Structure 1
């Protein structure tokens, strides 16, 4: 590894013992330091942290919004559906990221195909749910435009993700 200057003194960059050893792809990543001069945790160990923070943030928003709409069951159902769909979408995307890039035919090709189909279905359902909510407040001409755009996004997404 190299050394990084800190306060005009060279501090050697040491790998994090908790991280699996493997080829490093980002040279700048090796140079990240905490305040104590030790190497920061590698991306493989902390890869789920941003998603977890986002889900906690969304859960706080869900709780706050659920209090406001607790007397309107349709709004509460939409809110619960959107949050559950988004959480499932994040989980599927996270699982897809962990699959090898070039799987052998017996190893992960079928699972990758299933995940692509599930991601498409979840994103399509979320798009349709939002289009429905938007169409409730639009004039009829714009409702048609919203549904045309939503259906084109879902169809193009099917061709891009699944086919």
Structure 2
């Protein structure tokens, strides 16, 4: 009995750590901001769901259109959930890089699927080859931007002070940021 009491509480499971970091983040945002954010998210969700229901009703006699709408709605909902999970993982310093990489790959896969689904549907409606090629060109640009933001751009490159995050290594060998044209103390010497 003494050994169990000496060990302390068990380490939290990874999903519990995520939930705890999510709760801490919500507490830091404040009560009013949380309610406003929740109301805004509910309004957007209701609006998007209402438009999809209306579109499904208008396409009720065309099974191909209904399948496109259902798949698109499901991919958008999945993408929103995965991006939110990625945000939570980036805020939690205790998460492993392998877990973040898995979520990034999932975000990328859903983005590719959604972009290709929409591009195929739009190109079916285009009358000329030039317009079809333009649609696929725009899809390629969207996928390139998504690849850059998911894999190439690091989360640390954003302004942490703007988001209320504390810089982990304030003086860890990096040069302090300076305004344009201002010399750093090392350059003045």
Smaller-chain TM-score bracket: 0.5 to 0.7
Of the structure 1 ranges 81-90 and 153-162, higher mean CA displacement relative to structure 2 is found in 153-162
Match of 2:109 in 1: 121
Q: CA deviation at 1:155?
A: 3.5
- Does the 8 Å CA contact 1:55/1:87 hold for their aligned counterparts? no
TM-score, normalised by the number of residues in structure 1: 0.64
Task: Return the match for 1:109 from 91, 97, 110.
Answer: 97
Match of 1:78 in 2: 68
Aligned length: 129
1:88 aligns with 2:99: no
More strand by share: 1
Match of 1:62 in 2: 52
TM-score, normalised by the number of residues in structure 2: 0.57
- Does the 8 Å CA contact 2:79/2:110 hold for their aligned counterparts? yes
Match of 1:97 in 2: 87
Consecutive unaligned residues of structure 2, counting only runs of 5 or more, are: 1-22, 153-189
Q: Higher RCO, 1 or 2 (CA under 8 Å, sep at least 6)?
A: 2
Name the SS for the 1:70 alignment partner. Answer: coil
